[in-house]
Structure 1
């Protein structure tokens, strides 16, 4: 009889240890899921002014911070070695066409070599002002871009209204 009681106590203790370990694993998985669903922080924070910058587009036109005041603008930062960046390109084109956003109000910065950037820049020709810069790029550093793709929405006063890393459609960002 003593062996049966000892066996039951042992099985009960093992069950309790198993339950505690399972609870700890579930808590850890929940924390990881929350961290994974949190958007990446990349770019200036909403409410901040655009940083000072000056650059030249692929067409040879100069662009600076002063050129982006007076009307809303969109800045998108892409990379030639980014697997998610090509997915954002159709969203940029669709947003420009649906809102009537002029090409000088949508700045697309591609980090990488010009020859490697054609996949990203070709569909945006005529829709956006295109800038290609080597890594690490001056614009990416000025805007504190830590992940690509990153999209920055700016109001007419040059104030950032939204900045987000990821290939989410711009219509969803504007609505947020």
Structure 2
């Protein structure tokens, strides 16, 4: 009877381990398929960000350099918020494109806020490097308060705001705004 109980216990443990591994493989395959669609241009951007025409959702955060960042500080001029994730391989490219975005829009670092979500410090450092002097960077955990408040469902997501504090654009994708700007 003892051998039968141990055998069933071992079978249960192996089955549970198999389930965990299969779920991990499925998750990775889904992520790989999304990245493939993004690279090929066949990816339909999911709705991400606050609704256009609505007031900018209020927030208070602290930038990586220790300065406070608030939604009120963005009112009175056009501004952009970009949400990136350390788990998103495409986000590194999007971060690298932000200096060109700043140049073409004429926005300064106080008008461009970049929120990097996730716990991978090396990936966050890689994304932050090209943003020095170009954007105000805020770090948070995955699905942190800013990403949740702004209804970010996919990264990268860009939110544009007019001088009145109204959301004029909110979309996920690699370069949704940069692609539409004049050279």
| TM-score of the two chains, using structure 1 as the length reference | 0.74
Q: CA deviation at 1:170?
A: 2.4
1:42 and 1:152, CA in 2 relative to 1: closer, same or farther beyond 3 A?
same
1:137 aligns with 2:154: no
Deviating more after overlay: 56-65 vs 97-106:
97-106
Deviations, residues 73-128 of structure 1 (Å, cap 9, x unaligned):
01000000102111212321101122321101000000013723001011111100
Map of 2:91 onto structure 1 = 85
| Alignment: residue pair count | 140
Higher Cα radius of gyration: 1
Map of 2:68 onto structure 1 = 62
Given that 1:162 and 1:173 are in contact with CA atoms closer than 8 Å, whether structure 2 keeps it comes out as no
Map of 2:178 onto structure 1 = 171
Given that 1:113 and 1:132 are in contact with CA atoms closer than 8 Å, whether structure 2 keeps it comes out as no
Note the residue ranges of structure 2 that are not aligned, 5 or more in a row. 1-41
1:113 and 1:37, CA in 2 relative to 1: closer, same or farther beyond 3 A?
closer
| Aligned match for 1:105, one of 92, 97, 111 | 111
Map of 1:151 onto structure 2 = 158
1:72 aligns with 2:71: no
CA RMSD of aligned residues (A): 1.6
Q: List structure 1 segments (4+ residues) > 6 angstroms apart after TM superposition.
A: none
